Amino acid sequence: MTVNAAERMWSKDNLNLSSPDARRRSIRITRGYTVTCDKEDGIEDILTAEDLPRIGDAFPDSSGIKVTRVNPMQIGPVYYMVIVEYEGEVGPGDSEITDQDPVDTNPTIRWQNLITEEEIDTDAAGQPITTKNHERIRGVTERVTDWVAVIERNYAFGAFDLPTLHEYLRSVNSDIITTNLGNFAPGVARLTKFEPTEMFSEDAQGYIKVNAEVTFRYPYNVEPKDAWSKRVLHEGFYKRVERADETKEIVHAVDANKQRVVRPVLLAEDGTQLDREVEDDTGTADPADLPAAHYLLFETLNRLPYEALGLF
């Protein structure tokens, strides 16, 4: 078996530079080579020719442009033509192919809506959704729309580590997030996706391509800082009552007939039962006169500085 070194065909050089979003620049380079060999050599032997680029090899003087396809074609009994394709990303505004660093490319940020059907428990005035007898009505839903930023960005190796990212995937932002389309208050953003892909070859310094998503939740009936907190109507079978000595004890709630209730009663912030029996001359309650229901908020996510992620 004799496979001679590959020789470059200058007539096959081709370059295509594109930027679908006018920010990230993708490049595709084609080069052609000729390879001669013995008659008994097969097409798979041609790929071992000296000076012929292999899959994953970097373009000369570049780390982000790599061989993605090698296509050998037999022209004669001992003569092959091989087309090699490189693909990658180059820095913004640079005219040279060499000395490009994919880490310097601008990120792509695409905004989309996340629409979910969420169960609601209050009306537009903030009053609980109940029957005329003040029994809570469950199963009422509303379509809620959140913003999702879908981000593609390149990082240098060492910019982050996965154990730290584990913490961020269970967190909300502790700082203000500034974007080109507006600023978001602390507490409304949550990192919901962070998928890194290592891009490197044996003879060139690599980088990390990241696809990430940050969901910005609409603060339904809460302050922005509590947008991701778990919000629960304060109700239960037990209530606090005040004794004659002004101390309080916990007792089972009872109905008008002094019988233990069989459904939860609404509770105030201090655990006492809310009086929701305010009625007018018609015998019906005016929602404006009813005491506002109390809701408990449970914070289950950490608060971390999202600026440190460098996504926006």
**177-215: pLDDT as tens digits:** 999 999 999 999 999 999 999 987 554 567 899 999 999
Contact 32, 114 (CB under 8 A): no
The pLDDT assigned to 277 comes to 54
Pair 160, 304 in one domain:
yes
* 161-174 tens-digit pLDDT: 899 899 999 999 99
Distance CA 118, CA 142 (A): 5
Structural domain count, the chain: 3
The pLDDT assigned to 89 comes to 76
Which of 98, 117, 139 is the last residue in one of the domains?
98
Say which residues have a Cβ less than 8 Å from residue 214's Cβ, sequence separation at least 6.
148, 149, 151, 177, 189, 190, 191, 192, 306, 311
The pLDDT assigned to 99 comes to 45
| CATH number assigned to the domain comprising residue 91 | 3.30.980
Whole-Å CA distances, 56 to 81, 87, 106: 20, 10, 24
**Torsion angle of the four alpha carbons 220, 222, 223, 225, in this order, in degrees rounded to the nearest 10:** -90
Is there a domain that residue 103 lies in? no
Q: Which domain holds residue 208?
A: 108-226+300-309
The pLDDT assigned to 100 comes to 54
Is there a domain that residue 241 lies in? yes
Written as one string, the DSSP assignment of 157-174 is TTS--HHHHHHHTTEEES
The pLDDT assigned to 150 comes to 97
Is there a domain that residue 246 lies in? yes
Low-confidence residues in the chain, pLDDT < 70: 1, 21-24, 63, 91-101, 134, 201-205, 276-290
Distance CA 301, CA 146 (A): 18
Q: Is residue 185 within a helix (H) or strand (E), and if so which, with residue range?
A: none
The pLDDT assigned to 284 comes to 56
Beta strands 302-304 and 171-173, pairing class: parallel
Cross-strand pairs, 20: none
Is there a domain that residue 1 lies in? no
Pair 79, 120 in one domain:
no
Pair 214, 248 in one domain:
no
227 CB burial (10 A radius; 0-12, 13-18, 19+):
buried
Q: Which residue is listed with tokens 């101390």?
A: 247
The pLDDT assigned to 31 comes to 93
Which of 98, 122, 138 is the last residue in one of the domains?
98
